[in-house]
Amino acid sequence: MRIIFMGTPALAVPHLEACLDEHEVLCVVTQPDKMARRGRQMEAAPSPVKARALELGLPVLQPEKARDPLFVEQLRELKPEALAVVAYGQILPQSMLDLPRENHAGGGCINVHFSLLPRWRGAAPVQYAIWHGDVETGVTTQWMAARLDAGDVILQENVPIEANETSGELLQRLTPIGARMLSRTLQLMSENRAPRTPQDESNVTLCPQIERDMGRINWQQPAQQIHNLVRAFHPWPNAWCQWRGEALKVLSTRVVHGGGSAAPGTIKIEENRVLVVTGAGHLELHEIQPAGKPRLAPLDWARGARLESGDRFE
């Protein structure tokens, strides 16, 4: 098929490469370059998708607004049979979603989404799945619709979530699965055999954009719930709490069952471990990062901060 690929971050790169196996990629659409510091200077930094597209010799387009009618007309002139979208970062107008059907009976605009739709529609499905204690997630390919992630399902594959897996680790596992499913989806489209299974609107859950403040730890919550937050927010933006007036990033934890009479947030140092009392059970700190300092083992931090059992997080 004649494809326009739309994506921006590193996880989209394997999907672009999968499109090239059996199809013609007319161009790659990605977000405009962002300014990044290199040494003492600020320079325009291309997205990972742009960098890879240029290596492959593919034309790259970077509209400020994808819904610009002039840009939509530019894509129409390419006569695409499919638009493949993976973490592009902008909402597409209906005029763009309709383009491929003008050129192929089985064509359309499709999206790879890292959840089992209709669960976790939105910008951060992997983080929300871990945060809310889901034991499985998956990958969905869908026909794109005017409403966010509401299109008919083409293919789905279930994937279990490991007990201590972070969002970064889970996304690494899901990425090659998504690339393989995109390749299969495009093959079905080329044969005009891609299914359309409507989503069950009664089972919809939403996952808005992650914000840093969402990662603040409430020690009155159960240890498992806090552990899920830490996993979900790693590697970005990281869970955190207040310690002596400054933010302390909590990068890795383990749940320790059992409890005590101390108030939630109380720190215990025992058996070469740093434990924190929660609303239900203890949480063992495995890796932390004080403000403006490198990552530390909790015992090293405790010694440097002159921490004692019975001290308490704010």
- HEC readout, 96-165: HHCHHHHCCCCCEEEEEECCCCCCCEECCHHHHHHHCCCCEEEEEEEECCCCCCCCCEEEEEEEECCCCC
pLDDT score of 6 more than 80: yes
Residue 85: which pLDDT band, with cuts at 50, 70 and 90?
A: very high
* SS3 category, 14: helix
Find the radius of gyration of the CA atoms of the chain: 23
pLDDT digits (tens, 9 = 90+) for 163-199: 999 999 999 999 999 999 999 999 999 999 999 999 9
Match 């209906």 to its residue by tokens. 94
Predicted confidence at residue 59, as pLDDT, reads 98
Residue 73: alpha-carbon gap to chain centroid? 31
Predicted confidence at residue 43, as pLDDT, reads 77
What's the rounded Cα separation, in Å, for the pair 295 and 148? Answer: 37
Mean pLDDT of 96-121: 96
Pairing of strands 136-143, 108-113: antiparallel
Predicted confidence at residue 39, as pLDDT, reads 63
Residue 44: which pLDDT band, with cuts at 50, 70 and 90?
A: confident
CB count, 10 Å around CB of 254?
16
Q: What domains appear along the chain, each with residue ranges and CATH number?
A: 2-206 (3.40.50.170), 212-304 (3.10.25.10)
Residue 92 CB partners (closer than 8 Å, separation 6+)? 6, 66, 67, 83, 85, 109, 144
Residue 270: which pLDDT band, with cuts at 50, 70 and 90?
A: confident
Predicted confidence at residue 100, as pLDDT, reads 96
Predicted confidence at residue 42, as pLDDT, reads 67
Highest mean pLDDT among 23-37, 177-191, 295-309: 177-191
- Beta-bridge mates of residue 38: 41
Q: Which of 41-50, 71-80, 114-123 is predicted with the least confidence, judged by mean pLDDT?
A: 41-50
Predicted confidence at residue 127, as pLDDT, reads 98
Mean pLDDT of 247-262: 88
Mean pLDDT of 260-274: 89
pLDDT digits (tens, 9 = 90+) for 192-210: 999 999 999 999 999 999 9
The angle at the Cα of 137, spanning 96 to 130, to the nearest 5 degrees, equals: 105
